[in-house]
Chains A and B, each alone.
Chain A
């Protein structure tokens, strides 16, 4: 039953292990295309970081980050995202072993960790606004909300995307197409963790120092 639908999706690829040069090449190219997207995303974040570093001193007499940052929440966010990066890697390992159930379970754990990260971040934003630091307060806070918010948006998109892939895995199982999709989402997730390391270091740690 699951087999016939597998075939429908994997039809152009002839399944795995056939050593079809053309097919492998195509999936490899798609992987590389996504890698190039990640690098352009890197440049986007680079620009936002540059903006933040330049504007972080311009608080227009309003509150500064050092006064308002709640480090406990930020530290929790950091370790949660780091752990979710690890669990998305474990999902890929299960996939390589052909363990569909393990794959879906580890992806689900990753989604839960990502969702708690986003919950903590939204709570933090709401608290900041309540304490008088909104996006329109000063150039410093505009740069802060744009940088951290863009990262949060990426994580949210990643969550929806990961759930969609879990549904596809449930329907079609592990084939060459879903295999590539899981590989790409895990790459994306590791990338978001890397960006967060720099948010954590440059915005929060150097902010409260």
Chain B
């Protein structure tokens, strides 16, 4: 058991240093640039309006979040007991609960 944990931490450490290649950073950078340009073009040129625009905006933000996690933070290259991934998922669940819950409750609390 203890040996297992050791092995995992060791792998995570080793792979973190070995795998971050120039290629992965360049791919991540280019994808991020594209995903930043898409909302700019859509909003500043009025290509889409209303809900469709909101969906595209949030969609590109979430995609860019994933791109940076994978290509900049190397989340996929973590060793076997994927503690970082588990903590991230727990954190995201808490964030989503706070944000969605606040919006949901406060929509029915409009005084003005």
Interface residues in chain A, defined as those with a beta carbon under 8 Å from any beta carbon in chain B: 21, 24-25, 27-29, 31-32, 35-36, 39-40, 42-43, 45-47, 49-51, 53-54, 58, 71, 75, 78-79, 82-83, 85-86, 89-90, 92-93, 96, 179, 183, 187, 190-191, 193-194, 197-198, 200-202, 205-206, 208-209
Contacts and interface: CB of A to CB of B under 8 A. Distances in A.
Q: Name A's interface SS.
A: helix
Given A29-B9, A46-B98, A90 B25 contact: yes
B13 A28 contact: yes
Given A53-B102, A93-B22, A208-B43, A197 B65 contact: yes
Contact of B17 (A35, A54, A96, A209): A96
Given A21-B10, A53-B99, A89-B25, A31 B36 contact: no
Contacts of B54: 206, 209
A198 to B, nearest CB: 6
Interface of B: 6, 9-10, 12-14, 16-18, 20-22, 25, 28-29, 32-33, 36, 39-40, 43-44, 49, 53-54, 57-58, 60-61, 64-65, 68-69, 72-73, 83-84, 87-88, 90-92, 94-96, 98-99, 101-103, 106, 112
Contacts of B87: 32, 35-36, 39
A18 to B, nearest CB: 13
Nearest to B46: A209
B41 to A, nearest CB: 11
Contact of A201 (B21, B61, B112): B61
B9 A25 contact: yes
Contact of A93 (B25, B53, B84): B25
B12 A28 contact: yes
A83 B30 CA distance: 10
A25 B10 contact: yes
A24 B13 contact: yes
B59 to A, nearest CB: 10
Contacts of B33: 79, 82
A58 B94 contact: no
B43 A209 contact: yes
Nearest to B40: A75
Contacts of B9: 24-25, 28-29, 32
A162 B66 CA distance: 25
16 contacts: A25-B9, A31-B12, A43-B95, A46-B99, A54-B102, A71-B44, A85-B72, A90-B22, A179-B17, A191-B73, A194-B64, A197-B68, A198-B61, A200-B36, A209-B54, A209-B57
Given A89-B28, A96-B17, A205-B40, 11 more contacts: A21-B6, A25-B10, A32-B84, A39-B91, A54-B102, A75-B40, A89-B29, A93-B22, A190-B68, A201-B58, A201-B60
